[in-house]
Chains A and B, each alone.
Chain A
Amino acid sequence: MLNSIHPPGGDPANAGARSSWFKYASPQTFYPLAGSLAPWFAWAAAILMLGGLYVGFFVAPTDQQQGESYRIIFIHVPAAWMSMFLYVVMAFWAGIGLAFNTRLSGMMASAIAPTGALFTFLALWTGSLWGKPTWGTWWVWDARLTSELILLFLYFGFIALQAAIDDPRRADRAGAVLALVGVVNIPIIYFSVQWWNTLHQGASVSLTRAPTMAATMLTGMLLMALAFWMYSIAATLLRVRSVILERERRADWIGQYVERPA
């Protein structure tokens, strides 16, 4: 093992650079940092969401084809983006934890999973409510919907697997393997509308094509996407603090953060 040969922190020649790089990788320094950052992200989420709802309901016009039912887009598309993005971030942290055996990485992965599952469920739920008036059905087994449902099961599987293993470090490793294998589902979701003949429409927003929807609709959607992003960061930071409290119970440093009962 490398650790038995080299002192912790790695090669002494670049120990300075490494220690600053890894400073916030320790639960001890990250716990207070997460606590002071979370309210900022929560406020940003609230303000962006108010802006997004205002634009979505009072500025964006009625759609010519779909009438008012299209307003589901301001939740549906951002939620679907977050469901995929959070999975990639979760798998990234899980993979880092697996490769470098860093404790905080595994904690981040488990802190992201519930919020990722929430947005996946929301994308499916709103999609169903949008499908009924536009397609005439709550659900079809087309490639986009099915792969998004598999994403929900991957999140549930990750959470259940971690909960089933008592030793947190082993739970992290098992979860990481599942999360990394599941990453293959993300491009399948994303490209499903091109690869297969799906009832679900193609991408609403593209970086290479001119926007196909009214600018105000796009603005509302992007504001909501930013809001969901900020919300996810705030929720993850708050959850990772609880995970740290749960896992670092025996560490000396944590004594200073024990609060009196309210």
Chain B
Amino acid sequence: MTWGSLNDFLVMGGYALYVWGSYGMAAVLAVAEIMALRARRRRAMDELRRARSAPDGSMR
């Protein structure tokens, strides 16, 4: 084990900004993409429901 304490781990041998900046961005992007995927599905489903519930069956 490289790390003596939690603080050691967080300090990352003095490279905290660079290491956590990298992993943080990866996490932010993954979360953002997952949210965007959910939003896109919700939008597509809303649009589909609207198109299909048109009274005369007319669809754009």
**In the complex, chain A residues whose CB is within 8 Å of the CB of B18:** 69, 72, 129-130, 132-133
A242 contacts B19, C-beta separation under 8 Å:
no
Q: Which residues of B lie under 8 Å from residue A62 when comparing CB positions? A: 2, 13
- Other-chain contact of B12, A61, A71, A79, A245 (Cβ < 8 Å): A71
Specify which chain A residues have a CB less than 8 angstroms from the CB of B13 in the assembled complex. Answer: 62, 67-69
Interface size of A as a range: 35 or more
CA distance in complex: A62, B23 (Å): 17
- Whether A115 and B33, one on each chain, are in contact in the complex, defined by CB atoms closer than 8 angstroms, is yes
Instruction: Report A-chain residues with C-beta under 8 Å of the C-beta of B33.
Output: 114-115, 118, 235
Interface residues of B, CB < 8 Å — how many?
35
On whether the beta carbons of B45 and A245 are closer than 8 Å, the reply is yes
Q: Would you call A130 and B2 a contact (CB within 8 A)?
A: no
Tell me the A residues contacting B by CB distance below 8 Å. 57-58, 61-62, 67-69, 71-72, 75-76, 79, 114-115, 118, 121-122, 125-126, 129-130, 132-133, 231, 235, 238-239, 241-242, 245-246, 249-250, 254-255, 258-259, 261
